[in-house]
């Protein structure tokens, strides 16, 4: 598949609403990266909950970085 072709993706119903995060933590272990999206308590920012955790290859994270750089 060329980079210009987009795959036909389907999101499960339970993921369609998404999650809200107001902070992010990134951890690297060799060629893999883990990103924790966190919602911190606005009344006590020392407390929070991980609302999504994404682990990916170094290549995947570089692609994410590139795509985020394309946002105006």
Distance CA 28, CA 12 (A): 28
Q: Look up tokens 């394309």; give the residue.
A: 70
Q: Quick one: how many helices (H) and strands (E) in the chain?
A: 1, 3
**Cα–Cα nearest to 31, from 5, 62, 65, 53:** 62
* Predicted confidence band of residue 72 (pLDDT cuts 50, 70, 90): confident
Over residues 22-60, the pLDDT tens digits come to 999 999 998 899 999 999 999 999 999 999 999 999 999
Where in 4-67 does DSSP place strands (E)? Answer: 23-29, 32-41, 44-57
Residue with tokens 């570089």, as numbered in its chain: 62
């Amino acid at each position: 598949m060329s980079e210009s072709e987009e795959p036909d993706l389907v999101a499960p119903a339970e993921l369609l609403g998404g999650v809200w995060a107001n902070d992010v933590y990134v951890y690297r272990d060799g060629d893999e990266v883990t990103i924790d999206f966190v919602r911190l308590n606005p009344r006590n920012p020392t407390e929070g909950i991980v609302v999504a955790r994404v682990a990916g290859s170094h290549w995947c994270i570089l692609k994410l970085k590139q795509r985020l750089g394309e946002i105006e």
